[in-house]
Structure 1
Amino acid sequence: MTAFRLTAAILTLLLAPLPAALAQTNGQIERPSTCLAMAQALPGVIYASLATPSLVTPAAVKADPVTITYAGHSTYLIETPAGVTIATDFAGIYGANPPPRVVTMNRAHGTHFTRNPDPAIEHVLPGWNEEGGPAKHSLLVEDVYIRNVTTDIRRYGAMEPDANSIFIFEVAGLCIGHLGHLHHRLDDSHYAAIGRLDVLMVPVDGGLTLSLDGMSEIARRLSSSVILPMHRHSTPLSAFTGRMGGGFELDFREGRSITVALDNLPRRPTIVILDGV
């Protein structure tokens, strides 16, 4: 793999916790993303761990393992090679013990966010902006870079712009994406902003989020090496997997965790069903 050259300068801003500031980033550091489909400058990144710039470059291309564990509902726990723990769509119900260092949230329902996160959680990243407009996150914590792409949410019969975020975690050369509580199909601008995703976490309830036809269309287009269903409720798994077509393998696991690395991704795109999903 070609090594990407990442440049950065340290900024002395600190991330404000919820609820005071809802963790919106305000830094002015540009960090090229290894996952973007086209070269572009990202919004400012905040250094959360006071890392030196030299720590940014090697980890981006090393084939160190990342562990992903299904905690419940739409919450996956991601553990990076440096030991950073991240909980997705965190409401304090799943993945709270011990507290992760980073949580992401979306507010479609109370099972995807909390207004009272444990103070032990260092970084709380909401997928919406309380002050209006899109939420913008560009955060480096040890060896993982976290950014977001906003989408709209259906609330009270109308679409609310930029109220959901697709969070993307770039670590050890991998690009890991969580679609959140996605309510609509993506357009070309979304795909361009998301870029490549090696691992995709996708809701498959088929009703509260986007339809299964729409969700499978997105998953097929992203063509990630590993697809992790979530937010299933009572929907038969076959209702999603059957729409994905013969180009995707099925892998049912007995445990709740999967370990992935850049050099051990499956040769064919694979839908991995972890225990509990």
Structure 2
Amino acid sequence: MPNPALEAAYATIPELVEYHERTERIGELHRTVPPADAPEIAAQKIVNEALEEYLRTGVMPADVEARATEAYTAALGAHALRSAVGSLYADSVHGQTLEFLRQVNAPAILADLGVQLADLLTEARKRTEALGAVRTADEALTAGGKVAEAYTALRALLPTLRDIRSGQWDTLRLGQLTGPSSPYQRAKDSGFGDVQGINDDTPRGQFTAMQNQRYTLDHLVWLAQMNGTAYVPESVEDVLVAQEAYETRHSVSDAPLVKDLSPLAVPTPPAPTPKPRPVHGRKPAPADIVLNIN
């Protein structure tokens, strides 16, 4: 089933608009251009008919070759047209081109979904004050008046919110692996793809609603009263970064302190003042010794 929010976003992308217009024309052509035999088959049919007539009557039609040539020539154009149309149609229904165009234009698609979300919440804010604390149909019927009107109007906005969120995840999935433990699936299940600045004060019930993509009237009212923090993320990575920032908000780095390894400046002490050497009795040198031999 088409997603109205996503289709509206696609309608803002010229390449996608042109693709769909082209695909529609190809489909119409494929329905109206009749099937056509290959030229060889068309000529062979004439020849086969002539042979059957000869076997039945013993007379070969004199114009069999001329008619076979005419059939061959006539089939050339018709068969070429039908083949070309068939090839175009096969490419158009295969979907690879459309998938590529959506992936290339994913940022613009997500941006438009973000605009739709902002417009939706602006409309919701017009009704939240009148709604007050009412959240159920029974409460709205009991209250009546403007409360019941606000409840009805806000309930009518819920499908649009669901379409926007569904379109958001369909677009973020483009070009991504989608296994149970893939980054895409982790981001989708994280609860961080709906509002910015999730913190310890975020109501648990609202966080669970975002994790499970189960959007109620109470969640819509809560979003409308958040005053600008509801958003459409630009990428899977943005969602995972927001989740990591929240989950590591109380962590302390285990990295050791950085030591200053720059050379220490060691002062050079002043040279000591030389002291005078003590003078003792001088010993006689060998040359001063006189030997007395009697």
More strand by share: 1
Question: Where is the helix percentage greater, Structure 1 or Structure 2?
Answer: 2
TM over 0.5: no
The structure that has the greater radius of gyration is 2
Relative to the length of structure 2, the TM-score reads 0.22
